[in-house]
Amino acid sequence: MLNHLRCLSSHHSDPSAGAGGAPSSLMTSGAAATLLGVTPRTVQRWCNEGRLQAVLTEGGHHRIEESVLRTFLLRRLPPRRRPPRAAHAKKQRRAWRVLVVEDDLAQSAALARMLRLVAGDQVVVHVEGDGFGAGLAVASNPPDLMLLDLEVPTIDGVDLLRRLRFAPGLERMLVVIYSGHVTAERRRELHVLGVQEVWDKPLSPAEVRGRIAGLLRALESTHAFAREG
């Protein structure tokens, strides 16, 4: 999916983990910098200043807990505007269901990880690697949001959208396409097929974070009334 996110898979694992038993949730300063859209030097400075909580390895390297990084990341995002709620509305809505359709395992894992870092328990992420599996997933448990790569096997993204266009129960499903070299003519076709946004590859982690935050706001606006899962 996103070229800038590929490093998440390779940088996330702590090279000091293993024999020493270090927790798998510890991230290197380089991986944290990628997610935050800053340089590793900036992350190290924040750790030294105490602005970002970290542990120090015997070799003098900073390691940051994933939960700590998520809290720090959410503080840096603009506040989300919530639609007004009726005084009697007390029901808690369920988590948003998000379907990621991508045949590149590293890219789909990176995008799913970014979704969880930004949204936390607000989202439940499901990943499918081909169009046929995505169609079955939509039919069995319609998502609130589908992030779809156009170039997936068995059924490509455009054909999948054509098949889903008139399916019942999908009126409020948001669809985002992420792909490279999407022509103006193809964009018009995607709009007719119900696509809300087209993301052009590659995007930086900072851009992805901002767009995910915007999608969460769009979901809240689309589903105006609180619902239970």
Select the more confidently predicted residue: 165 or 2.
165
In a domain, 88, yes or no: no
Is the model's pTM score more than 0.85? no
Q: What is the tens place of the pLDDT at every residue in 61-120?
A: 889 888 888 788 767 655 555 555 544 444 567 899 999 999 999 889 989 999 998 888
Residue 91 lies in a domain: no
Give yes or no: residues 131 and 215 share one domain. yes
What is the spatial distance between Cα 14 and Cα 11, in angstroms, rounded to a whole number?
7
118 shares a domain with 35: no
Whole-number pLDDT of residue 202 = 82
**Residue 141 burial (CB < 10 Å; 0-12/13-18/19+)?**
exposed
Report in angstroms the alpha-carbon separations of 5 from 32, 144, 228: 12, 23, 33
Question: Which of 31-40, 140-149, 160-169, 188-197 bottoms out in mean pLDDT, i.e. has the lowest?
Answer: 31-40
Q: Provide, rounded to the nearest whole percent, the portion of the chain with pLDDT above 70.
A: 78
CATH at residue 29: 1.10.1660.10
Domain count, the chain: 2
| Cα 115 to Cα 124: distance, rounded to the nearest angstrom | 9
- Residues spanned by the domain of 205: 96-222
Question: Are residues 37 and 147 part of one domain?
Answer: no
Same domain, 121 and 28: no
Whether 192 is in a domain gets the answer yes
